[in-house]
């Protein structure tokens, strides 16, 4: 055996054993972050399968099913109102081919009478409430309910207004920053710091500077996967508190990220092999990172997610998920 192999093989073996050891016991290296909430049932777009998406009626319906979390997307109107809307262009939602940013809040159209459920193609939601909501109205109506607020576009005014609203309603610990892009997430955290510095001092009985938890961006999620497979994840700090991730089993069934069926089938196979690792989910959970899979609308997918060790699930159908959770009870 060459001298290189003589020393390299034992070193590699020791590294592998240490990596496996700390992957399973991360609390020997880190004190996990403890959240003030642990969502099991998250309502995607307010619960967009049972009522029209992002309406107060949808959110009230989800609350009737004891939802733990509302997932919302935000846009900014021309007159500076933060609106709960997934799309910037209003064609799909209302039939009006205008961007939210080109209209004042009072000019926003009503939703269509029925909307197709994005993650359940061929199924439609209906509701009597067709009015678009401002984020301020939602915060006022549900002051204690945790929410994940996704910033859809790189709009600094939008980001600063969300941060100011969160601070105004003292929701820092129960409002999650969400974005797909690192550049936007950095601006979200900076805006939070600005809102904190500009706000009036809170009462002594209130935590003075609670930090808003953030979720992984796409590139940060890929980074975690890379470190996991390199065996370095136990030794890398993780500032994020939530991983809002698609469940690979829904690709090419209810989620079609590509226009090509072949690419969707390939994505389903590859992502299932890469992401669906119970040891990865357990490690993140023990580090204080809550893993929430989206957007699941079938009981079989609920089963897969919770068997992997997920903290919770985002769904368009809160009634179905509530029934599943109640039936499983202490088994979860």
Higher pLDDT, 276 or 31: 276
Residue 248, pLDDT score: 93
| pLDDT, tens digit (0-9, with 9 covering 90-100), for 234-256 | 999 999 999 999 999 999 899 88
Confidence of residue 318 (pLDDT cuts 50, 70, 90): very high
* pTM of structure: 0.89
Average pLDDT over residues 99-122: 96
Q: Residue 16: what pLDDT?
A: 59
pLDDT in tens, 181-227: 999 999 999 998 888 777 655 454 444 557 899 999 999 999 999 99
pLDDT at 209: 55
pLDDT tens-digit series, residues 76-106? 999 999 999 999 999 999 999 999 999 999 9
Could you tell me which residues come within 8 angstroms of residue 114 by beta carbon, excluding any fewer than 6 positions away? 52, 124, 125, 126
Q: What does the pLDDT read at residue 35?
A: 85
**Mean pLDDT, residues 13-17 taken together:** 57
Q: Where are the domains of the chain?
A: 41-198, 215-331
CATH level 2 (architecture), domain 41-198: Alpha-Beta Barrel (3.20)
Which region among 126-135, 235-244, 263-272 has the lowest average model confidence (pLDDT)? Answer: 263-272
Rounded mean pLDDT of the chain? 90
What was the pLDDT predicted at 28?
77
Give percent of the chain with pLDDT exceeding 90.
77
């Amino acid at each position: 055996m060459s001298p290189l192999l003589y020393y390299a093989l034992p070193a590699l073996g020791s590294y592998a054993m240490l990596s496996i050891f700390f992957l399973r016991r991360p609390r020997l290296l880190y004190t996990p972050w403890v959240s003030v909430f642990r969502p099991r049932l998250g309502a995607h777009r307010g619960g967009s399968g049972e009522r029209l998406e992002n309406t107060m009626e949808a959110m009230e319906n989800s609350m009737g099913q004891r939802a733990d979390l509302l997932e919302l997307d935000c846009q900014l109107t021309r007159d500076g109102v933060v609106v709960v809307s997934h799309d910037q262009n209003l064609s799909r939602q209302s039939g009006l081919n205008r961007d939210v940013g080109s209209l004042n809040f009072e000019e926003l159209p009503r939703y269509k009478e029925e909307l197709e459920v994005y993650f359940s193609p061929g199924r439609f939601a209906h509701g009597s409430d067709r009015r678009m909501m401002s984020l301020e109205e939602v915060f006022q109506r549900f002051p204690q309910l945790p929410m994940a607020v996704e910033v859809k576009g790189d709009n600094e005014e939008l980001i600063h207004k969300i941060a100011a609203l969160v601070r105004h309603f003292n929701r820092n610990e129960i409002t999650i920053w969400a974005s797909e892009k690192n550049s936007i997430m950095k601006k979200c955290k900076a805006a939070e710091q600005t809102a904190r510095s500009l706000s009036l001092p809170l009462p002594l009985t209130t935590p003075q500077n609670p930090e808003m938890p953030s979720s992984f961006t796409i590139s940060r999620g890929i980074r975690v996967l890379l470190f996991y497979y390199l065996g370095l994840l136990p030794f890398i700090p993780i500032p994020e508190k939530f991983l809002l991730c698609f469940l690979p089993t829904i690709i090419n069934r209810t989620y079609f990220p590509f226009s090509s069926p072949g690419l969707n089938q390939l994505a389903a196979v590859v992502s299932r092999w890469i992401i669906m690792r119970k040891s990865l989910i357990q490690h993140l959970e023990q580090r204080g990172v809550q893993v929430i899979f989206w957007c699941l609308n079938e009981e079989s997918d609920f089963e897969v997610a919770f068997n992997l060790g997920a903290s919770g699930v985002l769904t368009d159908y809160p009634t179905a998920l509530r029934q599943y959770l109640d039936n499983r009870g202490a088994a979860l």
